[in-house]
A and B are shown apart, each in its own frame.
Chain A
Amino acid sequence: GAGVSQSPRYKVAKRGQDVALRCDPISGHVSLFWYQQALGQGPEFLTYFQNEAQLDKSGLPSDRFFAERPEGSVSTLKIQRTQQEDSAVYLCASSLGDIDQPQHFGDGTRLSIL
Protein backbone atom coordinates (compact mmCIF):
# COMPACT_ATOMS: atom_id res chain seq x y z
CA GLY A 1 0.00 0.00 0.00
CA ALA A 2 0.97 3.63 -0.31
CA GLY A 3 0.71 4.58 3.35
CA VAL A 4 2.30 3.63 6.64
CA SER A 5 1.03 0.24 7.76
CA GLN A 6 0.85 -0.83 11.39
CA SER A 7 -0.09 -4.16 12.87
CA PRO A 8 -1.87 -5.35 14.81
CA ARG A 9 -4.60 -2.73 14.83
CA TYR A 10 -5.63 -3.79 18.34
CA LYS A 11 -3.73 -5.72 20.96
CA VAL A 12 -4.93 -6.91 24.33
CA ALA A 13 -2.40 -8.36 26.73
CA LYS A 14 -2.27 -9.31 30.37
CA ARG A 15 -0.04 -7.37 32.67
CA GLY A 16 3.44 -8.83 32.62
CA GLN A 17 3.29 -10.15 29.06
CA ASP A 18 5.62 -8.99 26.32
CA VAL A 19 4.18 -7.39 23.17
CA ALA A 20 5.59 -6.51 19.76
CA LEU A 21 4.15 -3.86 17.49
CA ARG A 22 5.07 -3.64 13.83
CA CYS A 23 5.43 -0.67 11.50
CA ASP A 24 5.91 -0.80 7.74
CA PRO A 25 6.83 2.70 6.52
CA ILE A 26 6.23 4.28 3.16
CA SER A 27 8.71 2.91 0.64
CA GLY A 28 11.76 5.15 0.33
CA HIS A 29 11.23 6.97 3.62
CA VAL A 30 14.49 7.01 5.53
CA SER A 31 13.11 8.43 8.77
CA LEU A 32 10.84 6.49 11.09
CA PHE A 33 9.30 7.65 14.34
CA TRP A 34 7.31 6.03 17.12
CA TYR A 35 4.86 8.01 19.25
CA GLN A 36 2.62 7.12 22.17
CA GLN A 37 -0.82 8.69 22.40
CA ALA A 38 -2.75 8.45 25.66
CA LEU A 39 -6.51 8.92 25.59
CA GLY A 40 -7.43 12.56 25.06
CA GLN A 41 -3.83 13.67 24.65
CA GLY A 42 -1.51 14.59 21.82
CA PRO A 43 1.06 12.05 20.63
CA GLU A 44 4.33 11.97 22.53
CA PHE A 45 7.65 11.11 20.93
CA LEU A 46 9.26 7.79 21.80
CA THR A 47 12.11 7.15 19.38
CA TYR A 48 13.53 8.02 15.95
CA PHE A 49 15.42 6.05 13.30
CA GLN A 50 17.28 7.24 10.28
CA ASN A 51 17.59 4.15 8.11
CA GLU A 52 18.69 1.42 10.54
CA ALA A 53 20.33 3.76 13.04
CA GLN A 54 18.38 4.68 16.15
CA LEU A 55 19.41 8.30 16.55
CA ASP A 56 17.14 9.32 19.41
CA LYS A 57 15.49 7.15 22.03
CA SER A 58 15.07 9.84 24.63
CA GLY A 59 11.30 9.44 24.74
CA LEU A 60 11.22 5.76 25.68
CA PRO A 61 9.62 5.77 29.15
CA SER A 62 11.61 2.88 30.60
CA ASP A 63 14.07 0.13 29.75
CA ARG A 64 11.08 -2.14 29.16
CA PHE A 65 10.63 -0.38 25.83
CA PHE A 66 12.84 -1.38 22.95
CA ALA A 67 12.68 -0.53 19.25
CA GLU A 68 14.59 -1.79 16.25
CA ARG A 69 14.78 -1.31 12.51
CA PRO A 70 17.45 -3.78 11.47
CA GLU A 71 17.28 -3.35 7.70
CA GLY A 72 16.23 0.25 7.56
CA SER A 73 12.66 -0.51 6.58
CA VAL A 74 10.21 -2.33 8.88
CA SER A 75 10.42 -1.41 12.54
CA THR A 76 9.28 -3.22 15.67
CA LEU A 77 8.46 -1.66 19.01
CA LYS A 78 8.70 -4.17 21.84
CA ILE A 79 7.39 -3.69 25.33
CA GLN A 80 8.50 -6.17 27.95
CA ARG A 81 6.66 -7.00 31.17
CA THR A 82 3.76 -4.74 30.24
CA GLN A 83 2.10 -2.55 32.85
CA GLN A 84 -1.35 -1.00 32.85
CA GLU A 85 0.12 2.45 32.24
CA ASP A 86 1.42 1.17 28.90
CA SER A 87 -2.16 1.16 27.59
CA ALA A 88 -2.27 3.71 24.77
CA VAL A 89 -2.30 4.05 21.01
CA TYR A 90 1.13 3.59 19.51
CA LEU A 91 1.64 5.56 16.32
CA CYS A 92 4.32 5.08 13.73
CA ALA A 93 5.28 7.77 11.24
CA SER A 94 7.74 7.98 8.39
CA SER A 95 9.20 10.80 6.33
CA LEU A 96 11.72 11.48 3.61
CA GLY A 97 14.17 12.65 6.22
CA ASP A 98 14.60 16.41 6.22
CA ILE A 99 13.17 18.60 8.95
CA ASP A 100 10.76 20.25 6.55
CA GLN A 101 9.30 17.00 5.33
CA PRO A 102 5.99 16.08 6.89
CA GLN A 103 5.67 12.89 8.84
CA HIS A 104 3.02 10.52 7.54
CA PHE A 105 1.28 8.47 10.16
CA GLY A 106 -0.19 5.00 10.27
CA ASP A 107 -3.53 4.14 11.85
CA GLY A 108 -1.82 3.12 15.07
CA THR A 109 -1.98 0.09 17.35
CA ARG A 110 -4.35 0.39 20.27
CA LEU A 111 -2.76 -1.50 23.17
CA SER A 112 -4.83 -2.46 26.18
CA ILE A 113 -3.17 -4.01 29.20
CA LEU A 114 -5.51 -5.89 31.53
Chain B
Amino acid sequence: AQKVTQAQTEISVVEKEDVTLDCVYETRDTTYYLFWYKQPPSGELVFLIRRNSFDEQNEISGRYSWNFQKSTSSFNFTITASQVVDSAVYFCALSERDSSYKLIFGSGTRLLVRP
Protein backbone atom coordinates (compact mmCIF):
# COMPACT_ATOMS: atom_id res chain seq x y z
CA ALA B 1 0.00 0.00 0.00
CA GLN B 2 1.14 3.54 -0.60
CA LYS B 3 2.43 5.49 2.36
CA VAL B 4 4.49 8.56 3.19
CA THR B 5 6.38 8.81 6.46
CA GLN B 6 7.78 11.99 7.96
CA ALA B 7 9.36 10.79 11.16
CA GLN B 8 10.32 14.24 12.44
CA THR B 9 7.29 15.76 14.11
CA GLU B 10 8.93 19.05 15.02
CA ILE B 11 12.35 20.62 14.44
CA SER B 12 13.66 23.78 16.05
CA VAL B 13 16.74 25.58 14.73
CA VAL B 14 18.39 28.94 15.13
CA GLU B 15 18.34 31.28 12.17
CA LYS B 16 21.10 30.65 9.59
CA GLU B 17 21.42 26.99 10.50
CA ASP B 18 20.92 24.37 7.80
CA VAL B 19 18.07 21.91 8.35
CA THR B 20 17.02 18.72 6.58
CA LEU B 21 13.48 17.38 6.59
CA ASP B 22 13.18 13.66 5.99
CA CYS B 23 10.61 11.86 3.85
CA VAL B 24 10.31 8.14 3.20
CA TYR B 25 7.68 6.70 0.89
CA GLU B 26 6.23 3.34 -0.06
CA THR B 27 4.68 2.50 -3.41
CA ARG B 28 4.24 -0.46 -5.74
CA ASP B 29 3.78 1.75 -8.77
CA THR B 30 6.72 2.25 -11.11
CA THR B 31 5.48 5.66 -12.22
CA TYR B 32 4.92 8.14 -9.44
CA TYR B 33 5.58 11.71 -8.40
CA LEU B 34 6.84 13.16 -5.17
CA PHE B 35 5.98 16.63 -3.91
CA TRP B 36 6.84 18.98 -1.10
CA TYR B 37 4.33 21.54 0.18
CA LYS B 38 4.71 24.29 2.77
CA GLN B 39 1.85 25.22 5.08
CA PRO B 40 2.44 28.52 6.88
CA PRO B 41 0.27 29.57 9.83
CA SER B 42 -2.23 31.11 7.41
CA GLY B 43 -3.16 27.56 6.38
CA GLU B 44 -2.74 27.56 2.63
CA LEU B 45 -0.66 24.72 1.17
CA VAL B 46 2.06 26.15 -1.04
CA PHE B 47 3.61 23.94 -3.72
CA LEU B 48 7.41 23.80 -3.58
CA ILE B 49 8.62 21.03 -5.87
CA ARG B 50 7.72 17.82 -7.72
CA ARG B 51 9.97 15.00 -8.90
CA ASN B 52 9.08 12.01 -11.03
CA SER B 53 10.19 8.46 -10.34
CA PHE B 54 12.48 8.39 -13.35
CA ASP B 55 14.52 11.43 -12.49
CA GLU B 56 16.83 11.04 -9.51
CA GLN B 57 18.77 14.19 -10.21
CA ASN B 58 18.96 16.38 -7.18
CA GLU B 59 17.55 19.88 -7.46
CA ILE B 60 18.50 23.21 -5.99
CA SER B 61 16.37 26.31 -5.91
CA GLY B 62 17.91 29.18 -4.01
CA ARG B 63 18.24 28.08 -0.39
CA TYR B 64 16.17 24.96 -1.00
CA SER B 65 17.52 21.63 -2.22
CA TRP B 66 16.04 18.17 -2.61
CA ASN B 67 17.71 14.76 -2.52
CA PHE B 68 15.75 11.94 -4.18
CA GLN B 69 17.10 8.42 -3.69
CA LYS B 70 15.06 5.51 -5.05
CA SER B 71 17.36 2.97 -3.41
CA THR B 72 16.21 4.14 0.01
CA SER B 73 12.76 5.42 -1.06
CA SER B 74 13.59 8.83 0.32
CA PHE B 75 12.97 12.38 -0.82
CA ASN B 76 14.64 14.69 1.65
CA PHE B 77 14.42 18.47 1.72
CA THR B 78 17.19 20.77 2.92
CA ILE B 79 16.92 24.44 3.74
CA THR B 80 20.27 26.20 3.81
CA ALA B 81 20.80 29.24 6.01
CA SER B 82 17.31 29.05 7.45
CA GLN B 83 15.27 32.19 8.06
CA VAL B 84 12.42 32.97 10.43
CA VAL B 85 10.05 33.11 7.45
CA ASP B 86 10.78 29.43 6.82
CA SER B 87 8.82 28.56 9.95
CA ALA B 88 5.88 26.43 8.81
CA VAL B 89 4.67 22.86 8.55
CA TYR B 90 6.19 21.02 5.61
CA PHE B 91 4.44 18.10 3.96
CA CYS B 92 5.87 15.47 1.66
CA ALA B 93 3.35 13.83 -0.69
CA LEU B 94 3.16 10.99 -3.19
CA SER B 95 1.03 10.71 -6.33
CA GLU B 96 0.74 7.47 -8.25
CA ARG B 97 -0.27 7.02 -11.86
CA ASP B 98 -2.67 4.24 -10.93
CA SER B 99 -4.39 6.08 -8.08
CA SER B 100 -6.39 8.85 -9.76
CA TYR B 101 -3.67 11.43 -9.17
CA LYS B 102 -4.63 11.93 -5.55
CA LEU B 103 -1.93 13.10 -3.19
CA ILE B 104 -0.98 10.91 -0.26
CA PHE B 105 0.50 13.13 2.41
CA GLY B 106 2.83 12.46 5.28
CA SER B 107 1.91 13.76 8.71
CA GLY B 108 4.12 16.82 8.27
CA THR B 109 7.15 18.29 10.02
CA ARG B 110 6.74 21.51 11.93
CA LEU B 111 9.83 23.70 11.50
CA LEU B 112 10.48 26.51 13.92
CA VAL B 113 13.29 28.89 13.06
CA ARG B 114 14.25 31.07 16.02
CA PRO B 115 15.92 34.45 15.56
Contact = CB atoms under 8 A, between A and B. Distances in A.
Nearest to A102: B47
A59 B102 contact: yes
Given A99-B33, A100-B33, A56 B102 contact: yes
Interface of B: 4, 31, 33, 35, 37, 42-47, 50, 52, 91, 93, 95-97, 100-108
A95 B100 CA distance: 12
26 contacts: A31-B101, A33-B101, A33-B103, A40-B107, A42-B4, A42-B106, A43-B45, A43-B105, A44-B105, A45-B104, A48-B101, A48-B102, A56-B102, A91-B45, A93-B45, A99-B31, A99-B95, A99-B96, A99-B101, A100-B33, A102-B35, A103-B47, A105-B46, A106-B44, A107-B44, A110-B43
B107 A41 contact: yes
